[in-house]
Structure 1
Amino acid sequence: MLRRRKTTTREPTIALINVVFLMLVFFMVTGQIAPTLDSALTLVRTDALDGRAPPDTLVIRADGTLRFRGDAVASASDFADGLPERARAAIRVVPDRDLPAVDLVRIATELRGAGADRVLVVTERDLQ
């Protein structure tokens, strides 16, 4: 009696790897990842610009004091009460970087309690 050989069924993973590799090479050759900038182009430098808050925002300093257009404001609710009704739809605040988050939340809650529909926090965008 002869013994039958065990037939092993191999999975076609090598073929799959080859197909994926060929697709990768194809897309690398035919595709362009990002267009290059013109070599004669000189980009604008913004590191020397003076940063300042937009004129119609409530500025919150690191110690929690409030200022609007350079003038001191007693409280967030006094600030919101002095605004016209349409200006209360969205109040913009510019907090100092060192202001504790607890104080920012407290002031935003006080503005919402005084009639602000939305409180928008203005921040600096860093493109590095």
Structure 2
Amino acid sequence: MRRIAPRFRREPTIALINIVFLMLIFFMAAATLAPPLDGDLRLVRTADLDGRAPPDALVVHADGRLTYRGAALPDADAYIVRLPDNAREIVRIVPDADLFAQDLVRLGEELRRAGAGRVVIVTERGLQ
């Protein structure tokens, strides 16, 4: 009587490689969809925040400069004037981490006086 040698089944590694490759392609594509913020901007950190992406956010630098979509703005009124009426209900600002709190509060008050319904501060956790 002959003894049958046990056969070793090969693992289906091709399917696993295909899945990993598709995941890589997905994450590469998803990472390029978000528009980049200014390179010298460091975001404020918070523990809990209802995350919303800043599609039309006002960027406030540490020295108090205001930019909107890469263009410099002189003040909060200039930002509000550029927004359509329906976008003035919720205004998002992205402050630099080194911006003084007093300046941030003052900017929020200026935005409210200029016509913003609600001012939302976007931080690092909110962008994730």
TM-score, normalised to structure 2's length?
A: 0.56
Query: Is this contact kept in 2: 1:80–1:115, CA < 8 A?
Result: yes
| Alignment of 1:92 onto 2:92 | yes
- CA shift at 1:67, angstroms? 0.2
Percent identity, please.
51
| Partner Cα distance (1:55, 1:75) in 2 | 20
Give the letter for the 2:76 counterpart. Answer: A
In the other structure, the counterpart of 1:122 is 122
| Partner Cα distance (1:102, 1:96) in 2 | 13
- CA shift at 1:55, angstroms? 4.1
Structure 1: unaligned runs, 5 residues or longer: 1-48
Task: Give the match's secondary structure for 2:125.
Answer: coil
| Partner Cα distance (1:88, 1:61) in 2 | 21
Structure (1 or 2) with the larger CA radius of gyration: 1
Matching of residues 19-98 of structure 1 within 5 Å: 52-53=36-37, 54-98=54-98
- CA shift at 1:82, angstroms? 2.2
In the other structure, the counterpart of 1:101 is 101
**After TM superposition, which residue ranges in structure 1, 4 or more long, deviate above 4 angstroms?**
none
**Superposed CA offset, 1:30-77 (max 9, x none):** xxxxxxxxxxxxxxxxxxx89944441100000000000000011011
| Partner Cα distance (1:124, 1:82) in 2 | 25
- CA shift at 1:80, angstroms? 0.7
Aligned pairs, number:
82
TM-score, normalised to structure 1's length?
A: 0.56
- CA shift at 1:78, angstroms? 1.5
Which of the pair has the greater relative contact order for Cα pairs under 8 Å at 6+ separation? 2
Structure 2: unaligned runs, 5 residues or longer: 1-30, 38-53
Give the letter for the 2:71 counterpart. Answer: D
Query: Is this contact kept in 2: 1:55–1:69, CA < 8 A?
Result: no
